[in-house]
Structure 1
């Protein structure tokens, strides 16, 4: 889709450039700047918590 509004085009290009530059960096969570936790570890923790929750609700 083409826009004749040059300001909208410039905003779009800046947003696109920002999205490209931020997606090139790995996502890392830090715990009070003492340790870092990868996204994979966070997902495994959440998956384990969900499994444990399912187990506890099935025991009722």
Structure 2
């Protein structure tokens, strides 16, 4: 069986309920910083959008 080359969309973010749990944790952190649930959801969504658009998650994470 051949091993496949990693694709840019193969990020270590989990799927399903684990991803939902991670998102809840991030929204909780953003809420504590911003004191508004509606304002907390925006940066979390933007972070996920950036995460899926990058090619090198490790490099990106060390920059933020």
Q: TM-score, normalized by length of structure 2?
A: 0.34
Structure having the higher Rg: 1
Select the structure with the greater relative contact order (CA < 8 A; seq sep ≥ 6).
Answer: 2
Q: TM-score, normalized by length of structure 1?
A: 0.36
Structure with the bigger percentage of strand: 1
